[in-house]
Structure 1
Amino acid sequence: MLDAELVVRSTRVVTPEGSRAAAVAVSGGRITAVLPHDTEVPAGARFEDFGDDVLLPGLVDTHVHVNDPGRTEWEGFWTATRAAAAGGITTLVDMPLNSLPPTTTAGHLRTKREVAAAKAHIDVGFWGGALPDNVKDLRPLHDAGVFGFKAFLSPSGVDEFPHLDQDQLARALAEITAFDGLLIVHAEDPHHLDAAPRRGGPQYAHFLASRPRDAENTAIAGLIEQARRLDARVHVLHLSSADALPLIAAAKADGVRVTVETCPHYLTLTAEEVPDGASEFKCCPPIRESANQDLLWQALADGTIDCVVTDHSPSTADLKTDDFATAWGGISGLQLSLAAVWTEARGRGHGLEDVVRWMSARTARLVGLDDRKGAIEAGRDADFAVLAPDETFTVDPAALQHRNRVTAYAGKTLSGVVKSTWLRGERVFHGGEFTEPRGQLLIRRT
């Protein structure tokens, strides 16, 4: 006799073996079995039938700037995790910069966790930061449970998080490799950026010229060589230049331990459509041309690019001026990432199984949570997103949950409506309403 506290059912459940009609049994917040659709529900168990809506594993977003504490007027754990839940995301990993203090010491991590604890509507983990002067802090941060370390190879945009030169990168990476940690890297070469033409004003073409592909390509090449020399684990953040793909593919074939992500805005928005003065589209590296976008999609399909994450990087609206040179660079995408990627993916012949692989399974694997997150199978957390894949909606900024409701998707019609989001077998979002926060703070598994 089936023993379950909760049974959920759908005609389309996305599992690692594919999509099928199924019932999913849950006890103690974990999935205990994936069963035939007509399995009898035991007496006393809660039961939800989602009909033809699709049951997905909750998404795992490993690239989110929450900015809390210190810049909570930009974003905070309460608003960011609500936006995530509304978009079907059940786990996020917070970036170490834009908060004050940045997550660059074990003490700063404790401060961050204290702030997040009562505000998290979904599960939250943390990256540490690698700075020129904190090599001594990397192992203590690792021991305290961060999932890895972020570094910039060019200026970050905030003074408290300086970038690494090549010698500093080598020292940090050697230390991190000594305990088999993971370094995640904003890879743009500062010398190429300094040499690029810089013109202020509202024209997107001028901003695009100021962040050339060669800056990405050169930085990625150098990172790969460092990883090859040290047998280090490295991850390329927010890849935008398709020119780097052959280099990455060759490195992977050679056994270099490199993984790569890209973002919804690179996959769904193009330089050709960015209006002059519309700095809600500004991010670094930039949104590039449609031909470049096609190559990113091909690389996702063949596995050269491993995963898709939001790089949710909000600011107050006043920092999004119409001057691309001075406006804050960042796209706010937590709530819309699933719908945006699904809308474009289905038009290119991909299925929801692909989207789950890019946005849940592989991101969970990146941070070592694939024993708990990223799939609907026995033993995993009962984290679900219930999606009506054929329903459409037009993006209204007023309906978004992140703190400053600036979005590059305003007015766009997207496919895929998240009907509800579940965390360890409890519904945390449904029909525009949220429960009280029940997220947990996650640490790296030893």
Structure 2
Amino acid sequence: MTVSDPRGFLSDLFDCAVKAADPHGALASHLPERPKGRTIVVGAGKAASAMAGALESLWTGPLEGIVIDRHGKISPTRHIKVLQASHPVPDMAGLEGSKAVLDAVRGLSADDLVIALISGGGSSLLPLPGGELEFEDEIAVNRVLLNSGAPIGAMNVVRKHVSGIKGGRLAKAAAPARVVSLIVSDVAGDEAARVASGPTIASRSTPGDALEIIEHYKMDMPPRVLEHLRSPAAEAPAPDDPDFARNSFSVIASARLALEAAAQRARELGVPAVILSDSIEGEARDIALMHGAMSREIRRFGRPFAKPVVMLSGGETTVSMAGGPYGRGGRNTEFLLAFARTIQGADGIDALAADTDGIDGSEDNAGAFADGGSFARMRAAGLNPEKMLAGHDAWSGFAAIGDLFMTGPTGTNVNDFRAILVQS
């Protein structure tokens, strides 16, 4: 079979992946029993308002609470208050929101229930420095982490040990109420304690682990932060803490489920699909080299997969930045620009890479499309794509040739979605 509209086909697969992570459908089969007492809803992340709205439509009793979503378009709610804050760098609105979320769970009884709606992005949306640290210290930590090239899981280990709300501390504050965490995962392996730095999940990591990560990735952390990590204040609640005995959590949506839905859709349309992995991490341009090499191998020799085929992958790549100045773009557009360099001149290869939350980095696009002619079209537009890749300016390159992929916020977040169609 030949796909006559590759970009329409790839967009269809993205839509199916996002639909599989829709909060309403995901929440419906994971609702806890109504408590004798009050039901308090708290949460944070890029899917926070969508999850809150979905929960309101599904819950049969009274509820109240506060969740924090990022600035921009949000889903409407009736009873749950939605605050908005900055992502990926925290702001004062996030700090005040974090305090409000903590206040919402204080003073509860054992008959009360806390439903925590947690999704990716919650680490930045729940800033609250721990110990003697100040807000400026947490902002500095976040900037160092974002520029480090460390995978999201490693970054969140550091975040939870410099925080006054992450690493299970929010659940600790809610005791003796029962806490049920419903999680939309954006981390490799779907480890619940690492999503949004685990505000309601007991930590299996230690401050020593955070210090090892800082050393391994050669992070230039402020001295005050390092001093904090060597103090007792950096310890997070452990899994054997009795306050967590009645708590539970469920990962209700993830990259794995989203990719499986996209693969099924491709097969329904007559195109064989393979899922390479739902948890690929590493430098975006390095991951692009691997995907590009596989695409060329399939195109030329029909191995390791026969043509036509669509390769699907997820996870979260990183972009290491040192110095500057730099241009515009997120990890998906950077991946695609490096991928386009690898396949330039090759016919029959079309790719889409996008963030399932609808926003790649801090720009207005979900991602972009690329094919063997992308570099040539950028050059024809008077651009130097090699220079743009070196300067992390992929957004400008794809914008100039009209190949940005725009969806707007999707209301969910199960990390990156990559689909590469190889036909000839």
Q: TM-score, normalised to structure 1's length?
A: 0.30
Q: TM-score, normalised to structure 2's length?
A: 0.31
Q: Which has the larger helix fraction?
A: 2
